[in-house]
Amino acid sequence: MTMRVAIAGAGITGAVLARQLAEAGYAVDVFEERRHVAGNCHTARDPDTGVMVHVYGPHIFHTDNERVWAYVNAHGQFEPYVNRVKAQAGGRVFTLPINLLTINQFFGQTLSPRGAAEFVGSLAERAIGEPRNFEEQALKLVGRELYEAFFEGYTLKQWGLHPRELPASILRRLPVRFSYDDNYFAHRFQGMPRRGYTDLVERILAHPSIAVSLGTRLDPSAAREYRHLFWSGPLDAFFDYSLGRLPYRTLEFEPVRADGDFQGCAVMNYCERSVPYTRVAEHKHFSPWEQHDRTICFREYSRACGPGDTPFYPVRLAQQEHLLQRYSALACATRGVSFVGRLGTYRYLDMDVSVGEALSAAERFVECERAGAPVPQFFNDPVAH
C-alpha cells in the first residue's frame, strides 16, 4: 500500500503532523480550504501601515513544554514577548489579570499582598459550596463587585450567554494574583515569531515530501485513496453536519487605522456590556522590535457561528455534549481516519498544546504502522475534555 497520507488543514496541527510524517518517510498531501496556511494564526502585513497583523485575532505563544518551545524555535526566530492586558470598566483603566494593582486601584487601597488576599477573601461569597457555573465560581473567588466589573458584561458579549449558563471551568483558567505581576501568562517560555506565524508554518511545511494545495477542500471520501487521513477540520463537517451543527462562537473584526499610537497597549478589554465589542487589539504592539509611524487596530465582536463563518471557540455546554458524543461515535466507527486539532476534536487548544499533540500523534501513528496495529480515530478524546 502507498506510503502517502492526507491531511485536511494547514494550521499548526496539520503543519506539524505533515512535517513529522514527511521526516518519517511518508509522502504527505496537505489540503487547505483557505488561500493561506497557518489557520487562525495567519499573519500578514497591512499594506497601509506596514504593521504585521494577526488576521484572525491576537496569538501569543506561551508554554512550559521544553520540547514544544525547542520545536517552534527550530523553525522560526522567536522574540521575547509579554502579554500585558488592560481593561476598561466603569470609565477607568485597570490591569488584567486581576492582581494587586487592580485590587488597589479598584477599591482605592494600598493593600499588601497578604492584606489584599484577606480583603478579597472577605468579599467572596462563602455560602457557595462547589460552584455550579461561571457566575458562582467568580462570586466565590472574588466577590460580586469584581465579578460585575470585570467578568459579567465581558462574558455576556463573548459567549452570548449569561455567566450562570456557562461552566465554572471557564473561569478556573483565569488567575487572580496578590502581587503586581501583570504578565497574563505564567509560562516559562513566551514569545512571538519575528516574521509572523504564517512564515513559521510555511517553514514547517517546507519539506520535499510535502505537497500543499491551497484553496482546496479535501473530500472525506478521499480517505480510500490514502494510507491514512488526518482530519483537522470541524468534526461535524466531516460528516456533512448530518446530526446538526456543533455550536461555536465566531468573531468579526472592525479595523481602525490612525497615525501614531491609538491606545498605548496591545490589548484593551471592554468589560461593560454597553460597549458592543469585547476588546481592541493594536497590532504593532505585538511586534515591539519594529517601528511604525501609523497604526492599525481591530475592534472584536463575538457572535454565534453560522454556516460560512470561521469557527473560533467551541461552546461546551451540557446540552451540546450529547451531540458531541454522537459525532464521536460516528468518528470511532470510521476506519482510516484520525481526527486531530482544535476543530477535529472540538476542544479549545492553545497553540503549544496543538504542537505537542501533533508531535505525539505523529509518533503514535508511526508506532502503530510499524506494529501493524490499528491507528486510533482520536489521539485525544473530545468527550473526556
Find out whether 318 and 169 touch, Cβ atoms under 8 Å.
Answer: no
Asked about 217 being catalytic, the answer comes back as: no
78 Rama sector, left if φ>0, alpha if ψ -120 to 50, beta otherwise: beta
At residue 173, φ and ψ (nearest 5 deg) are -80, -15
Which of 265, 301, 262 shows the shortest CA–CA distance to 87? Answer: 265
**37 is written with which cell numbers?**
496556511
**136 is written with which cell numbers?**
458562582
Q: Which of 135, 147, 279, 357 is catalytic?
A: 279
Asked about 347 being catalytic, the answer comes back as: no
Q: Which of 177, 299, 342, 347 is catalytic?
A: 177
Q: Which of 249, 316, 342, 347 is catalytic?
A: 249
Report how far Cα 76 is from the mean position of its chain's Cα atoms.
Answer: 20
Asked about 300 being catalytic, the answer comes back as: yes
Report how far Cα 247 is from the mean position of its chain's Cα atoms.
Answer: 16
| Dist. CA 1–CA 224, nearest whole Å | 11
Q: Which of 48, 273, 348, 363 is catalytic?
A: 348
Residue 323 amino acid letter: L
| Dist. CA 325–CA 318, nearest whole Å | 11
Which of 328, 377, 358 shows the shortest CA–CA distance to 68? Answer: 358
265 class by beta-carbon count within 10 Å (0-12 exposed, 13-18 middle, 19+ buried)? middle
Asked about 132 being catalytic, the answer comes back as: no
Say if strands 313-314 and 248-259 run parallel, antiparallel, or are unpaired: antiparallel
Q: Which of 35, 114, 173, 224 is catalytic?
A: 173
Asked about 279 being catalytic, the answer comes back as: yes
Q: Show which residues are catalytic.
A: 173, 177, 249, 279, 300, 348, 350
